[in-house]
Amino acid sequence: MENKIRVVIVDDYDMTRSLLKIILRGEKFDIVGEATDGQSGLEMCLALKPDMVLLDVVMPIMNGIEALEKIHQALPKTLVMMVTGNDDHSVVNEAISKGASGYIVKPFNTASVIETMNQARERFILCHPAGVQH
């Protein structure tokens, strides 16, 4: 049986988290945790050590860019996909330069999320042929 990629979703909007869970259900991903702000998302990631994080850019307490840097420093093998309502290239470039593996722009559609996540999953498998981190 193929291992699923363990994912934490960090977004302050309940609807976004719910939609991402619905989209990824039945795919090759296992949602292992959810958080509503960057600080609790960072703490969850440190505790759960997921394979991938879906991380909103604009959130309370700690924004996604700051959380990205801390997650990337502590868990360099974890892929972080930014989720943003802003397709401003400077924000995207900053996230990529700080370690993001890619991004999903809101509003998103099912096909684009699945395609982006599957591409990230393939990169993860290529970089970690021994399998998932758990």
What pLDDT digit, counting tens, does each position of 117-128 carry? 878 777 766 665
pLDDT of 41-71, one tens digit each? 999 999 999 999 999 998 999 999 999 999 9
pTM of the model: 0.87
Q: What is the mean pLDDT of the chain?
A: 86
CATH fold of 1-85, please?
A: Rossmann fold (3.40.50)
Tell me 110's DSSP state: H
Determine how β-strand 52-56 pairs with β-strand 5-10.
Answer: parallel
**Torsion angle, CA of 66/23/76/134, rounded to 10 degrees?**
130
Structure tokens at 14: 């309940």
Give the per-residue pLDDT at 101: 87
The total number of residues shown for the chain amounts to 134
